[in-house]
Amino acid sequence: MNAPVSAAGVAAYLNIPTAGSPAWLHDGRIAFISDASGVPNVWTARPGRQPEPLTSFPDRIRALAASPAGDRLVFAMDRGGNERDQLWLLDVTNGEQRALTDDPETIHGFGDFAPDGRRIAFASNARDPHFFDVMTLGLDDPAAIPIPALSLDEHLSPVAFSPDGTRLLVRRDNTNLDADLLLMSLDGDELIELTPHEGEAFVPHAAFDPAGDAIWLVSNQDRDLLALMRRDLVNGEPSVVIEHAWDIEAFALTPGGEWIAYAVNEDGPSRLWLRSTSSGEERAVSGLPDGVIEGL
């Protein structure tokens, strides 16, 4: 017979601190979101030292990303749990913090830093609460206002800037099980639908190849399980690169594109794999504890 669980035991379980959204900084530290103080805030850590808080807001921080140089952070924070995130900029070299958006009726969803780190792309429903547009914003002018980049009366979210900073990969969510990838030029002259399909096709993750000539994506287009695909931007349709007997749930490329790491959901727990993008050589990463890998 199992012993009853005490109220103290339940409280201790519920009060276990959580951490997520890790991002590398320029000085070798890792920034992340942790609720160790009771409210999710930005913390940093380095090997051999205790984590330290970078922010101490009373409201929860729900997203975090580092600039390409690792000297600035953008984070999303709502007010009083209203789920209408505002975007903030944090300079990790001097601790300066300032709000990038200040519209409590609008939801803002961070997308990506431009390669030079001086501009960001994000989603906003400021124009119409029923739809999300893609916006861009320069970071070096405190008085700058967001500039509309794409408005289609649809649910759009920016995924990534191209390596040369001239194009933006955008996801259009049609339903919670169906999405498309769009490629737009920032000068507004070009908009290409990259994943035309019939029926439902989910695209939870996508990224530019570091060379800028292809898109890597996870999708279940024309199949039952999520697979890793590559779409040549010059002359190719999406081709399946990796598929397993389970869903591929996340991936990341090395900065030079030589290796790709991807996570496979093997009946619940995740298994991490590394694959050479040139030779196709693969090896499983051992020694990780059982759990679910939500992002790479």
| Chain centroid, CA 128 distance in Å | 24
pLDDT at residue 280 greater than cutoff 70: yes
Q: Quick one: tokens of 52?
A: 């330290």
Q: Quick one: tokens of 168?
A: 């933006």
pLDDT at residue 10 greater than cutoff 70: no
Spatial separation of the C-alpha atoms in residues 158 and 172, rounded to whole Å: 9
Q: In the structure, what pLDDT confidence band is assigned to residue 3 with cuts at 50, 70 and 90?
A: low
Determine if the pTM surpasses 0.95.
no
Higher per-residue confidence, 167 vs 189: 167
Q: CA angle, corner 152, sides to 197 and 74, nearest 5?
A: 100
**Looking at 117-126, 169-178, 187-196, which range is the least confident one?**
187-196
**What pLDDT does residue 70 have?**
96
CA 190 → CA 136, 157, 169, 171, 236, distances in Å? 17, 17, 12, 16, 18
pLDDT at residue 9 greater than cutoff 80: no
Mean pLDDT of the chain: 92
Q: In the structure, what pLDDT confidence band is assigned to residue 5 with cuts at 50, 70 and 90?
A: low
